[in-house]
Structure 1
Amino acid sequence: MNTGPGLFSDIGKKAKDLLTRDYLTDQKFSVSTTSVTGVALTSSATKKGGLSTGDVGAVYKYNNILVDVKVDTDSKIATTLTFTELVPSTKTIASFKVPDFNSGKIDIQYFHSHATFTSAVALNQTPTVDISATIGTPTFVIGAEAGYEPSSGRLTKYNAGISVNKPDSSASIILGDKGDTIKASYIHHLDDLKKTAAVGEITRRFSLNENIFTVGGSYAVDSLTVVKARLNNQGKLGALLQHEIIPKSLVTLSSELDTKALDKTPKFGLALALKP
């Protein structure tokens, strides 16, 4: 539906995904299947430390309506309703949790060939309104977002960003945390098939006088296996191996090592996602 500049949340997303996506330090197991009626069912369990959690979810699409329901081990029910093209060029998302009725939220997204606009309202005792907008093209994007709390009349957040995207690279700069941080990132694919990619990200937090610089990369060994690695100037080294054991079913092994404290035990993670 959208051939324009994309949402504000898309600025810097490619670099962020390469540096963070699929890295984990716990154990996760999930099984997904689709019923004859078209309902996608997912059951997952996660173990972090000595704590285990789980949930069961169902997703069903009917015409332009997507219904997503998830029940976790605390008996909380999270429901998300997505309406596409309810009004031309828009997507409307309504979400809420039971029994926490203060968790309700309505998000409206509008897409244009040269601009996007989103407005989200939290339906609780102290409602907040979040808005974001971008202008440009898929190649060049500039945008901003802000949050407002009507009850107190204060801004809860305001951020701005710019992104330049090419077929083999993407660069972005984001001014966030009410101007307290600035983040610049760059990702580049080193071959035409996009098997190999390198990424760099630097974050400057002015209030702490702190700089965090992270470099990383990914390499597709073959059509079934991907390896990734990342390292920041604080000495945190991460590595990841992901393999498609059967079509659409993935096993992911990851680890994190503090190179400045080699006496500490490295952290390990394991994820198995099966789609029989």
Structure 2
Amino acid sequence: MTLPQPVPPSWKDLGKSSNDLLGKDFPINGTALDVKTATSTGVSFKVALLRDAKSAIAGDLESKYNLKHHGLTLTQTWTTTNVLRTQVELENQIAKGLKFDLATSLLPDKGSKSALLTAIYKQPGLHTRAFLDIFKGPTFTADTVFGRNGFLFGAEASYNVTEGRLTRYSGAVGFSAPDYAVAIHSLGNSSTFAASYYHRVSPDVEAGAKAIYDTKATTPSVNLEVGVKTYLDEAAFVKAKINNAGILALGYTQALRPGVKASFGLAIDTQKLNDVAPTGAAHKVGASFTFEA
């Protein structure tokens, strides 16, 4: 008897395990602060600030209203660059597994605006999405991922409605198991190829790698990045990664108490070890603090 198939990941989440391992918890671009609070009525607020190496401070204020009984979520964001964003999500109201998402942004100073309408449909063995960029093109983009017994097959394509032509296409295959996952992507009209893997070696150790080959690069070569994550205890872990350019990155994350987390990051160019200034071009340091209540 065939076992029920789980809902596969979306197109953007193919290879997510390795992307998270190599991309998250390395706060090396400055000092970041995230403050998240929630009320008993389903309203949540988030303030995010980032001070980069040039002492510039950027941030945004986000408020989210969640009406669970109606499947409706409204998110509004105002950034320090005076960008106003609004996102409206409606889920499981017209049909089970169907979600609509409208994301808009407005820059009053320049009068620029954007609007992206998304439809997402999820069922066992299927995860498909369709996007319509209303003001750009307009451009219609769709992607689909099929999953069966751990095997994943995905494709994405973009179509310019005004010009009547296919502007982009991509494909991917992968396999996902409880303790490991692999994925191979063909991106940008088969101009870029990427392969990644993730392996939970033990309950305390995770490892992964990603290789990218760009056929349109001036000097075509394979860019390789390898990383590992180790849990020190239930409240702390360290991460390390290195790429073929010689950039070594280290990250340490500590949960100070429930809802309070601190992360510290360091990036070193091993080919420029004589550059001792940590905030110079060769080396970077940073930190991130998260408060959630």
**TM-score over 0.5 for the alignment?**
yes
What is the match of residue 29 of structure 1?
A: 33
Q: Is the 8 A contact 1:32 1:43 kept in 2?
A: yes
For residues 227 and 213 of structure 2, what CA distance do their matches in structure 1 show?
18
Q: Is the 8 A contact 1:5 1:138 kept in 2?
A: no
Q: CA deviation at 1:101?
A: 6.0
What is the match of residue 214 of structure 1?
A: 225
User: Do structure 1's residue 15 and structure 2's residue 18 form an aligned pair?
Assistant: yes
Q: CA deviation at 1:126?
A: 2.3
1:28 partner letter: A
Q: Is the 8 A contact 1:86 1:92 kept in 2?
A: no
Q: CA deviation at 1:50?
A: 2.6
2:63 partner letter: A
1:14 aligns to what SS in structure 2? helix
What is the match of residue 51 of structure 1?
A: 56
For residues 40 and 195 of structure 2, what CA distance do their matches in structure 1 show?
47
Q: Which of 81, 87, 91 lines up with 2:94 in the alignment?
A: 87
1:16 aligns to what SS in structure 2? helix
1:74 aligns to what SS in structure 2? coil
Q: Which of 104, 108, 118 lines up with 1:96 in the alignment?
A: 104
User: Do structure 1's residue 272 and structure 2's residue 289 form an aligned pair?
Assistant: yes
Q: CA deviation at 1:35?
A: 2.6
Larger deviation, residues 104-113 vs 27-36 = 27-36
For residues 19 and 189 of structure 2, what CA distance do their matches in structure 1 show?
20
Q: CA deviation at 1:80?
A: 0.8
Runs of 4 or more off by more than 4 Å in structure 1? Answer: none
Q: CA deviation at 1:72?
A: 1.1
Q: CA deviation at 1:125?
A: 5.0
Q: Deviations over 1:82-102 (max 9, x none)?
A: 111132221111111134563
For residues 213 and 55 of structure 1, what CA distance do their matches in structure 2 show?
34
For residues 162 and 171 of structure 1, what CA distance do their matches in structure 2 show?
9
What is the match of residue 234 of structure 1?
A: 245
For residues 136 and 42 of structure 2, what CA distance do their matches in structure 1 show?
37
TM-score by length of 1: 0.94
Q: Is the 8 A contact 2:42 2:67 kept in 1?
A: no
Q: What are structure 1's unaligned runs of at least 5 residues?
A: none
TM-score by length of 2: 0.88
Q: CA deviation at 1:36?
A: 4.0
% identity of equivalent residues: 22
User: Do structure 1's residue 200 and structure 2's residue 209 form an aligned pair?
Assistant: yes
For residues 162 and 26 of structure 1, what CA distance do their matches in structure 2 show?
36
2:65 partner letter: Y
Q: Is the 8 A contact 1:102 1:125 kept in 2?
A: no
Q: Is the 8 A contact 1:8 1:144 kept in 2?
A: yes
For residues 188 and 58 of structure 2, what CA distance do their matches in structure 1 show?
31
CA separation of 1:142 and 1:246: change in aligned 2, threshold 3 A: same
For residues 272 and 138 of structure 1, what CA distance do their matches in structure 2 show?
40
Count of matched residue pairs: 273
For residues 261 and 134 of structure 2, what CA distance do their matches in structure 1 show?
37
1:23 aligns to what SS in structure 2? coil
User: Do structure 1's residue 72 and structure 2's residue 79 form an aligned pair?
Assistant: yes
Q: CA deviation at 1:177?
A: 1.7
What is the match of residue 46 of structure 2?
A: 42
For residues 154 and 238 of structure 1, what CA distance do their matches in structure 2 show?
42
CA separation of 1:125 and 1:182: change in aligned 2, threshold 3 A: closer
2:162 aligns to what SS in structure 1? coil
Q: CA deviation at 1:138?
A: 6.4
For residues 30 and 10 of structure 1, what CA distance do their matches in structure 2 show?
24
2:208 aligns to what SS in structure 1? strand
CA separation of 1:151 and 1:44: change in aligned 2, threshold 3 A: same
Q: What are structure 2's unaligned runs of at least 5 residues?
A: 278-282
Q: CA deviation at 1:137?
A: 2.8
Q: Which of 178, 183, 192 lines up with 2:189 in the alignment?
A: 178
1:263 aligns to what SS in structure 2? coil
Q: Is the 8 A contact 2:25 2:252 kept in 1?
A: no
RMSD of aligned Cα (Å): 1.6
